[in-house]
Structure 1
């Protein structure tokens, strides 16, 4: 496919996305129906689609419309590319520009701040209040593609030797300050899943901020540790790699953990998945981690659709669920044990406000540590707090 044909395909997919279809499903279906497209074509189209979703407001303003065509036109103008070199109508290229599309529009620097930094209108006030002086730089960072990070499994190797091993497979990495186990992939990211290092459990894909949250967890020798909202189990495996504790995983939707046993075996760690009555029978635990459902605002670079589809009503529902999870998990913690709370959110309503409410409702519990991370720190936005139950 030519570069222009890729843009035409992305424009069609964006129109379907605007009609309500999930972007990932659209891309998967398109690839299945267009087997002539090579891996580079599919990757380029994917990048165009997700870049446009991340930059929806600014690209629409620069392109004159929020249609797929308008977004691609805005993307080209943001990059300083003459749209007439792409919108030629030749072959599978988009149709030539009409006079209205050639009319000079605003430059990115001239757009209103919320539009220029692609802030969702529905959440602007909450984001400004939560981020303060960091509002503009954080929102600018969320317009960009997220870096790719690996977590080194320190049960099987040290970061320096694993980096050398990866380099031998064409994957260049560098250490990152957020976590001693984090390697940022600077070249060859698409080779990770096919690498021997990945197949042998030496590395897992995991954001550096997520690794930093796992690093915060107090893991005493012989402790019983429960990842209460385990999902795919990334933090479970990160904690288990440190050794010395017994690890359990639970999720309200057990199917999310379906790959965890195989991943744990590959990583050389032991994790017991608990469901139903087994959870209550296994309690109490010395540490319970609640990585709760949230807006995902700290990870909008990776899941940009949520940026535009999350509403204040969604936040009300989420904060109520977060309180419910914390209250339920507190009963699983042994006296003198720890309860940890984490989100990949930038919003204070999902973070410190929930911890403040919990401490008011549960006298005697003490906040032991707390950390807020934004994309300015290099990884995703995360919040974590660790509280101790009275003995």
Structure 2
């Protein structure tokens, strides 16, 4: 696919999202109908879509409309690309700009537009003077952090194994298990280090928290709000205690069993009804669900669905 055709596809996906389809389903539906699209094409379309959602308010303001076309038009303007060079109508490129679109004068960039307006007072109350930095952070992609499974490898060995598959990393100075992928992140799930259970994607903040809790060396530990189960896997790397994982929405843990097997640990998943059958627990971790704002850089759709 040519670059302009990828933008046309992004417009199509965003239009489907605007009509109410979850963004991942919209991307999947487009991909099923675009058998000609290679992996690089699908990745590029996904990036355009997610960049548009991260900056939806600013893109709509710069593009003059909240439609998929308006968001991509605005995204190009924010990126310093001349839209007329892309919206040519040639081949599979987006249709030529209308006279109104050509004449539109985009307002100055306002990061306040990139979160729902009703959330701004709440964010301001929490962030205070750092609100502008917080809002700017929501417009950029989240870094890819990995947790090294120290039962399988040292951090240095894991970094070398990743490098052999083209993934360049840097070690965190704050968390002993953490590596940030600075190049080649899309190849992670095909890497030997990942398949062998040497590393697992996990945000730096979660790793930081896990390392600062004094876990019992034996007994029973319950991760009560497990989400996808990443915390439970990290805990299992810190102790020989029996680890139990529970979440109010069990489907979130749908891939926890193969991930645990890959890491060489055992995590027992519990339904709400079964919690009492394994009690008492020596320690219960409650990462209490809230707005989900910590995921907005990876999942920008969430802030618009809140």
Same fold (TM over 0.5): yes
Could you list the runs of 5+ residues in structure 1 that have no partner in the other structure? 311-391
User: 1:1-391, aligned counterparts within 5 Å?
Assistant: 1-107=1-107, 110-112=108-110, 114-115=112-113, 118-275=114-271, 277-310=273-306
Structure 2 vs 1, CA of residues 63 and 281 (structure 1 numbering), >3 Å: closer, same or farther? same
RMSD over aligned Cα atoms? 1.5
1:178–1:209 Cα contact (<8 Å) kept: no
Structure having the higher strand fraction is: 1
C-alpha distance in 1, partners of 2:73/2:37? 22
C-alpha distance in 2, partners of 1:295/1:277? 25
- State the TM-score, normalizing by the size of structure 2: 0.95
1:218–1:287 Cα contact (<8 Å) kept: no
Offset, 1:231: 2.6
Q: Secondary structure at the match of 2:126?
A: helix
1:179–1:209 Cα contact (<8 Å) kept: no
C-alpha distance in 2, partners of 1:19/1:265? 40
2:216–2:239 Cα contact (<8 Å) kept: no
Offset, 1:113: 5.2
C-alpha distance in 1, partners of 2:69/2:273? 53
Offset, 1:178: 4.4
Question: Cα deviations across residues 340-389 of structure 1 (Å, max 9, x unaligned)?
Answer: xxxxxxxxxxxxxxxxxxxxxxxxxxxxxxxxxxxxxxxxxxxxxxxxxx
C-alpha distance in 2, partners of 1:142/1:135? 11
Structure 2 vs 1, CA of residues 154 and 285 (structure 1 numbering), >3 Å: closer, same or farther? same
Question: Cα deviations across residues 67-110 of structure 1 (Å, max 9, x unaligned)?
Answer: 11111111111111111110111001111111111125135xx2
Q: Secondary structure at the match of 2:145?
A: strand
Structure 2 vs 1, CA of residues 258 and 300 (structure 1 numbering), >3 Å: closer, same or farther? closer
Offset, 1:267: 0.9
Offset, 1:64: 0.9
Could you list the runs of 5+ residues in structure 2 that have no partner in the other structure? none
Offset, 1:236: 0.2
C-alpha distance in 1, partners of 2:86/2:115? 28
Offset, 1:255: 3.4
Q: Secondary structure at the match of 2:283?
A: strand
C-alpha distance in 2, partners of 1:301/1:242? 28
Q: Secondary structure at the match of 1:230?
A: coil
2:248–2:272 Cα contact (<8 Å) kept: no
Offset, 1:200: 0.9
Structure 2 vs 1, CA of residues 125 and 224 (structure 1 numbering), >3 Å: closer, same or farther? same
C-alpha distance in 1, partners of 2:259/2:206? 17
Q: Secondary structure at the match of 1:226?
A: strand
Number of matched pairs: 306
Offset, 1:238: 0.3
Structure 2 vs 1, CA of residues 99 and 170 (structure 1 numbering), >3 Å: closer, same or farther? same
Q: Secondary structure at the match of 1:291?
A: coil
Match of 1:381? none
